[in-house]
């Protein structure tokens, strides 16, 4: 089994609650409280590990919340290494309103990272030993937009493929530099990258193929939410419609998609089959409340349906 290392520059303690109704200024009693370690790379590692893969979590953490975050990873048995930072790790909240089925999400910007802390993180990458390296999540304040470019250069020196899931300027800088193995933007992130409307799956497929043709990424998997997803590779594009399921939470669905697709690739499955497996992973994630993410039994059951789509 091949291994992955994940980098999460802006991790979070994800707190989730159920309430009957959200009422302004009232004290609202919660139930089913859950506290889990989150952030893009952490979520990818959690699902990849559940599937039987070998993982290592690299991240930044600080303050009392950072110590709590470390403990949550230890409780899950996830191997970890971190850079200690001066400011505290952020805490995000997701509130499920039972009366309406709506989910309310509150996500802080996160701590400001110093130049010294950023340099220490790059030093950590020089020691990493894995078959795939996953850089996933937003950049916290203080880290330059080209950070993943520099990380990718360090990894290429050691022959480690870079898997990328980020947005905004960080996505643009990293793809422009090229050499990414797999990138997983959402439709909105791809529109922002191209500056185009991309109104149809065909438009999205053409934009994804342009990234492949330019040598910016070998595989481009674009998630379209309830519409499905598009895969682009040198041999062409594949569109798979989304499964019709009742969603309980959208938190971490993209991370579950990426983890399951990468797990299938690490097993030697061809990219189209791995892409379909990723679709099952994303669908399995939304079945669970809060940040429960995807579970193997649900993934396998849904994969049988995706394979027929």
Distance CA 244, CA 232 (A): 23
| CB-neighbour burial class of residue 143 (10 A; exposed 0-12, middle 13-18, buried 19+) | buried
Other beta carbons less than 10 A from residue 28's beta carbon: 14
Task: Indicate the SS3 state at residue 36.
Answer: strand
Residue 255 known to be catalytic: yes
Token pair of 214 as six digits: 């330019």
Distance CA 81, CA 57 (A): 6
CB 289 within 8 A of CB 31: no
Return phi, psi of residue 61, to 5°. Answer: -155, 150
CB 212 within 8 A of CB 220: yes
Exactly one of 255, 270, 297, 298 is catalytic; name it. Answer: 255
DSSP string, 58-83: EEEE-HHHHHHHHHHHHHTT--EEEE
Kind plus residue range of the DSSP H or E element containing 4: strand 3-8
CA distances from 298 to 34, 43, 45, 245 (A): 21, 17, 18, 12
Bridge partner residues of 163 (DSSP): 134, 182
Residue in the block written with tokens 């019709």? 244
Q: Which residues carry out catalysis?
A: 255
């Amino acid at each position: 089994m091949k291994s992955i290392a994940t980098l999460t520059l802006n991790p979070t303690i994800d707190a989730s609650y159920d309430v009957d109704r959200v009422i302004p200024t009232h004290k609202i009693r919660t139930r089913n409280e859950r506290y889990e370690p989150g952030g893009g790379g952490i979520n990818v590692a959690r699902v990849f590990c559940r599937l039987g893969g070998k993982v290592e979590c690299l991240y930044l953490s600080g303050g009392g919340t950072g110590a709590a975050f470390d403990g949550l990873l230890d409780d899950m048995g996830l191997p970890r290494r971190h850079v200690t930072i001066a400011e505290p790790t952020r805490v995000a909240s997701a509130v499920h309103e039972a009366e309406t089925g709506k989910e309310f999400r509150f996500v802080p910007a996160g701590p400001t990272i110093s130049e010294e802390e950023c340099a220490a993180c790059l030093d950590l990458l020089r020691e990493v030993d894995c078959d795939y390296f996953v850089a996933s999540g937003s950049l916290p304040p203080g880290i330059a937009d080209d950070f993943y470019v520099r990380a990718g250069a360090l990894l290429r020196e050691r022959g480690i493929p870079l898997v990328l899931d980020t947005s905004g300027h960080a996505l643009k800088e990293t793809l422009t530099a090229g050499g990414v193995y797999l990138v997983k933007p959402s439709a909105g992130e791809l529109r922002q990258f191209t500056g185009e409307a991309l109104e149809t799956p065909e438009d999205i497929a053409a934009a994804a193929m342009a990234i492949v043709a330019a040598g910016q990424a070998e595989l481009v998997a674009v998630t379209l939410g309830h519409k499905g997803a598009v895969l682009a590779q040198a041999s062409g594009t594949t569109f798979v419609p989304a499964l019709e399921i009742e969603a309980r939470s959208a938190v971490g669905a993209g991370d579950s998609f990426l983890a399951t697709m990468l797990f299938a690739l690490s097993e030697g499955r061809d990219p189209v089959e791995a892409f379909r497996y990723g679709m099952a992973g994303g669908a399995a994630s939304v079945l669970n409340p809060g940040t429960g993410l995807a579970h193997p039994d649900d993934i396998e059951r849904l994969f049988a349906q995706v394979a027929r789509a």
